[in-house]
Amino acid sequence: MSKLKKGVVYLLFAIPVVTQLYPLLWLVLYSLKTNEEIMDGSFFSFPKSIQWHNYTEAYTSGSYLKYLTNSVFVTGVTMIFVILLASMAAYAISRFRWKYGNLVMTIFLMGMMIPMQATLLPLMIIFKNIHVLNTHWSLILPYVAFSTPIAVFILTGFMKAIPHEIEESAFIDGANIYRIFRSIILPVSVPPVMTVCILTFINIWNEYILAATFISSEKLKTLPFGVYTFVSQYSVNYGNIGAFLVMGALPVILIYFFLSNQITKGMVAGAVKG
């Protein structure tokens, strides 16, 4: 390939790096500025002096730690359930010989088309009757339920492609199906599971409508709710808002960069050959 051509291609790669990373930089700069610097609205400028106090103020007035703990708990439990339930279902759909496999898959796929906002009120009524309103379960249950379609979808695609010789030989060795699932299928499914983790994490970590509706106790509220309230309320200090946004995004960014190499492996692994 000619040098020029190569140059053009690399330029093509470089442009999205700037446009896609810019928001993070923007946000960090924003969070370190004074109100006047922010109000002047320039697109790219460094703060004259760094306003660390924006962070201390956001930290103290925003109940950050409490929201963070709740979010970590809710998200963590949700992910464990999603992975466990979805991989079991995906295993059954992709590897068992039974009549209703495709039907069940279709039912799951239909779930991707259901907008969460439309289920707000019915969920409220259900939760009222099973007495989980204003507990973390009122978030975990719907989060798990709404995350399963895409999780089952990705995992099924992967599991279909696992060579079945592995299972057969294990069977011959006398292992039962649960053991095969636990010690063979799950370990090899790590890449798509990571993908599911990241996608689930992103969705749940930023969800606030259910969080605002089903949780009333201050001590149970989650971070996206906190971020949303903090941002849309009538605080005059933009720097604080920026700092709170950075703190709110930090966990998701950290998790993402730890897992990001996995996500590219697992996203659609197996679908090509499937």
Determine, following the binding rule CB under 8 A, whether residue 174 of this chain makes contact with other proteins: no
Site for other proteins in 62-81 (CB under 8 A): none
Q: Which lies closer to other proteins via its Cβ, residue 122 or residue 187?
A: 122
x/- letters, 190..209, toward other proteins (CB under 8 A)? ------------x--xx--x
Stretch that binds other proteins, among 46-54, 66-74, 235-243 (CB under 8 A): 235-243
Quote the CA–CA distance of 51 and 27 in Å, as a whole number: 13
For position 23 contacting other proteins by CB under 8 A, the verdict is yes
Check residue 115 and give left, alpha or beta (phi > 0: left; psi -120 to 50: alpha). Answer: beta
Positive or negative torsion for Cα 32, 34, 40, 41: positive
Which of these segments, 48-56, 64-72, 255-263, binds other proteins (CB under 8 A)?
A: 255-263
Residue with Cβ nearer other proteins (187 or 272): 272
- For other proteins, give the closer residue by CB, 45 or 49: 45
Q: How far is the CB of 10 from other proteins (least distance, A)?
A: 8
User: Pick from 94, 231, 194: which is nearest to 153 by CA?
Assistant: 94
Which residues between 30 and 49 bind other proteins (CB under 8 A)?
A: 39-44
Q: Which residues contact 63 (CB under 8 A, 6 or more apart)?
A: 218, 221, 226
Query: What single-letter DSSP state applies at residue 114?
Result: -
- How far apart CA 157 and CA 271 sit, in angstroms, is 5
Q: Which is nearer to other proteins, 13 or 187 (CB)?
A: 13
C-alpha atoms less than 13 angstroms from C-alpha of 239 in its C-beta half-sphere: 19
Any contact of residue 135 with other proteins (CB under 8 A)?
no
Which residue, 71, 26, 53, 20, is CA-closest to 239?
53
Q: Judged by CB under 8 A, how many residues of this single chain contact other proteins?
A: 111
Among residues 71, 79, 149, 243, which is the contact residue for other proteins, using CB under 8 A? Answer: 149
